[in-house]
Amino acid sequence: MLRTIGLILHTLWAICPLATGAFVGAAVGFHYHGWIGAIVLGVIGLGVGSVAAAYPLETIATLLEGL
């Protein structure tokens, strides 16, 4: 049961930064550069989100230090 809860939380942690990075990148890219910018910055945001998903403790520490 505890392993299942851990797996669910890990999956949610992996999905949220990926989706957030891609969405923010695409929104900023579309706002400033149109469709091409949305695609390019969306892919860059997806890459940043994948790094955040791969290293959750470092990401949380970085976010807390920035506040």
| pTM passes above 0.85 | no
Domain of 18?
2-66
Which amino acid, 65?
A: E
CB within 8 Å of 47: residues ≥ 6 apart: 21
pLDDT interval class at 10 (50, 70, 90): confident
Res. 67: pLDDT tops 70: no
15-54 pLDDT, tens digit each: 999 999 999 999 999 999 999 999 999 999 999 999 989 9
The count of structural domains within the chain is 1
Q: In the numeric block, which tokens belong to residue 5?
A: 């809860």
* Cα–Cα nearest to 13, from 57, 65, 61, 64: 57
